[in-house]
Amino acid sequence: MTLSLFILFLEQGVASGLVMGSVYALLALAIVIIFKTSEAPNFAQGDMMMGAAYVALYLLVFRKAPPIVAIPLTIVVAFVVAALFRGLVLAKVAKSSGSPVNLVIATLGFSYVLRGLVRGAGVGDTPRTFPPLASTDSIMIDQASVTILDLVIFGAAILTMAGFFWMFAYTKLGRAMRAVGMNPKAAQLVGVNIGRIHMLVWGLSGVISAIAALLISPKILMTADMGSIVTLGFAAAIIGGFNSLPGAVVGGFVIGVSENLVGLFISSRAIVVAPFVAIMLVLIVRPQGLFGGRTSIKKV
Amino acid sequence: MRSLALLVALAALVALPFATTGYVVYLANLLLTFTVICLGMHLVLGEAGQFSLAQAAFYGIGIYTSGLSGAAFGWPFPCSVLAAGLVSAVVGLLIGGLALRMRDIYLALATFAFGEAMQWVLMDWTSVTGGPNGLHIAPARLFGLQLLTDKQAYPAVLVIAILMLGLAILLSRSRLGRAFRAVRESEVAAMAMGVPVKSTKLIAFALSAFFAGVGGGMFALYSTYIHPDSLGFQTTILVLTMVVVGGLGSIAGAVGGAIVFGLISELLRQTPSYQEVIYGLILIVFMMFAPKGLFAFLGESFGRLRRA
């Protein structure tokens, strides 16, 4: 491989990687905020994203709604469904057994229900294409070719993350969420309504997944199984430490870029396994992830 | 009362191939296989409290080891089933040695990553596993006898399942089983009592891999074909839900969960359109109203009836 080809591959890999990585970062963020407050990973995250993508598809293509209506409506639906699942189902599961395994199984059940509904409703039976919300003309950044859509995806993802971090850091609601994540009992003592915060966190996670769905859907073929892309969000969250929000974002970009570089430099078949090898390597070297704090020891 | 019920169950299992069709026997073979894998999950998660989301990978290693060793060396099937278990256990030891430095969610995710990577290996190591074309498994042999049908394989599958069940019960009642539970309840307290926490966890992990590998060996007895697609995370999740829905932490729960949930999944296959919705709702309802599993739930309900 000549040097110029090497640089071309490198630039293209990093550019495409940052675009996909920004979506993985969103998904990882959605996973981590739930994990931080519920102590259980949400295995329905991928199917929440898939469900939101199909709601948007239904509104845009089947109902011919203009994007200005369809996008906010999709986000509202994602918020309400996710918050209700937490408020009606998970609250009861958490009450009847404190074990995280039970919460995990309940989220798995939710993911089956969502997938079954999409398949059963008659829109998820055949692969579909999502109408791109921006032009797909390509432009060159130095030697790397990206589309306008790619730039919109990247920009929208960055804006979403910035808005989210602002809310988490500076608003009263964000402080309440952080408090519940750190010490639920103490948060309750100072007057935080824990049930409501849990619902809001789930709703917010639904919103972030919906935004990720709107961004990624034009770039992939839509099927009822498209939620499996969340595996890469999980990989990103793990690399970032699983309880660190900045870590999740960095992890997303690491996964996106490394996936594209592996695809260009090694082989496209190795793309599938690269994230898992990355997870194992990171966990072996740093069991708590790159940005994770010290793992606490359970009290006797 | 209890031993009577067990005798009846055993008699029914022995009589099964004489009274029913090939499909039912195939289903029985599959359920017995999943029972053994669930016992492995029970050991590592239910007894020792350590997550392992790589059961499907160990099951797959078992299937391929058994199928390939049977074809390459012409081993009689007890040898190839044992080899399946041992190879899985060795891989389990290696992976456990790395993964058990982590705990809880990190352990779950590391083993999940291993499971996914293993599926990729099975899919892409074409020269050995046949890759995406799958692998045709030669019929199992014993002293010139060939097991060609589900009915012929059934006695062997049943005997292995009973042996493994016995092993699980022995383990659970042994000093090792007590050490597992001590580690599950509190690692610090277990350490203070002189339980070697690290090696105990490692043994639990390797044993669960052994059980899953033997399950793979059992599968190779009655099945003629395997494709890596069926060895992914879905299968691990199926085993996990069987164990949790049956009742995490008890052998009866693991066995009952495997049978009841295996039957439910098979019945739902008849109604493909709403299969996933119903399956998901069952999981959710169980976690909401019967968090300790089917058997604890039934026990409590009967207790309430008796008191009333």
* The residue type at A149: L
pLDDT values of chain B reduced to their tens digit, one per residue, 308 residues? 667 777 787 787 777 777 777 788 888 899 999 999 999 999 998 888 888 888 999 999 999 998 888 777 878 888 889 999 999 999 999 988 888 877 777 788 788 888 888 888 888 888 777 777 878 877 777 776 777 777 788 888 899 999 999 999 999 999 999 999 999 888 888 888 888 988 999 999 999 999 999 999 999 888 888 888 888 888 888 898 888 888 888 888 889 889 888 888 888 877 766 778 888 898 898 888 888 877 777 777 777 766 65
- Break chain A into its structural domains and give their ranges: 3-126+133-285
Q: Report chain A residues whose CB lies below 8 A from the CB of B284.
A: 89, 93, 106, 109-110, 113
Q: Do A116 and B274 touch (CB under 8 A)?
A: yes
Q: Which residues contact A228 (CB under 8 A, 6 or more apart)?
A: A46
Q: Do A287 and B289 touch (CB under 8 A)?
A: no
Q: Do A287 and B101 touch (CB under 8 A)?
A: yes
Cα B83 to Cα A30, B61, B62, B218: the distances in Å are: 43, 10, 8, 12
Note the pLDDT of residue B308. 59
Tokens (6 digits) for A5: 């080809």
Sign of CA dihedral B231, B234, B236, B238: negative
Note the pLDDT of residue A74. 94
H helices present in B125-196, as ranges: 126-129, 150-173, 175-185, 187-192
Long-range contacts of residues A211-214, Cβ cutoff 8 Å, at least 24 apart: A211/A26, A211/A75, A211/A156, A211/A157, A211/A160, A212/A23, A212/A26, A212/A27, A212/A30, A212/A49, A212/A157, A213/A49, A213/A50, A213/A52, A213/A53, A213/A56, A213/A74, A214/A52, A214/A53, A214/A56, A214/A71, A214/A74, A214/A133
CATH code for residues A3-126+133-285: 1.10.3470
Residue A46 has a CB neighbour count (10 Å cut-off) of 26
The whole-angstrom distance between residue B230's C-alpha and the CA centroid of its chain comes to 14
**CB of B245 less than 8 A from some CB of A:** yes
Q: Report chain A residues whose CB lies below 8 A from the CB of B248.
A: 99, 101
- Distance, in Å, from the CA atom of B178 to the CA atom of A183, rounded to the nearest integer, reads 33
pLDDT values of chain A reduced to their tens digit, one per residue, 300 residues? 688 888 888 888 888 889 999 999 999 999 999 988 877 889 899 999 999 999 999 898 888 888 888 999 999 999 999 999 999 998 888 888 767 888 888 998 999 999 888 888 777 667 888 887 777 777 777 777 888 888 989 999 999 999 999 998 899 988 898 888 888 888 888 888 888 999 999 999 999 999 999 998 888 888 888 888 888 888 888 888 777 888 899 999 988 988 888 888 887 777 777 777 777 777 777 777 777 665 554 444
Q: Do B287 and A280 touch (CB under 8 A)?
A: no
Residue of A nearest to B192 (CA): A300
Residue of B nearest to A44 (CA): B280
Residue B15 has a CB neighbour count (10 Å cut-off) of 10
Q: Do B284 and A89 touch (CB under 8 A)?
A: yes
**CB of B114 less than 8 A from some CB of A:** yes
- Distance, in Å, from the CA atom of B30 to the CA atom of B92, rounded to the nearest integer, reads 23
Q: Do B288 and A96 touch (CB under 8 A)?
A: yes
Helix (H) or strand (E) holding A31: helix A3-38
Q: Report chain B residues whose CB lies below 8 A from the CB of A111.
A: 280
Q: Do B281 and A231 touch (CB under 8 A)?
A: no
Note the pLDDT of residue A86. 92
- Distance, in Å, from the CA atom of B159 to the CA atom of B144, rounded to the nearest integer, reads 20
Residue of A nearest to B116 (CA): A276
Tokens (6 digits) for A43: 């295995």
Q: Do A112 and B45 touch (CB under 8 A)?
A: no
Which of A 190-219 lie inside 8 A of B, CB atoms?
none
Note the pLDDT of residue B273. 67
Q: Do B124 and A269 touch (CB under 8 A)?
A: yes
Tokens (6 digits) for B279: 């399956």
- What is the signed CA dihedral for B139, B144, B149, B153, rounded to 10 degrees? -90
**CB of B6 less than 8 A from some CB of A:** no
Interface size A-B, in CB pairs within 8 Å, comes to: 138
- Distance, in Å, from the CA atom of B233 to the CA atom of B113, rounded to the nearest integer, reads 10
Cα A41 to Cα A49, B59, B105, B109, B209: the distances in Å are: 15, 25, 8, 10, 24
Best B126, B264, B269, B284 member to test A by mutation, with max A CBs in 10 Å, is: B284
Could you tell me if A211 and A54 are in contact, meaning their C-beta atoms sit under 8 angstroms apart?
Answer: no
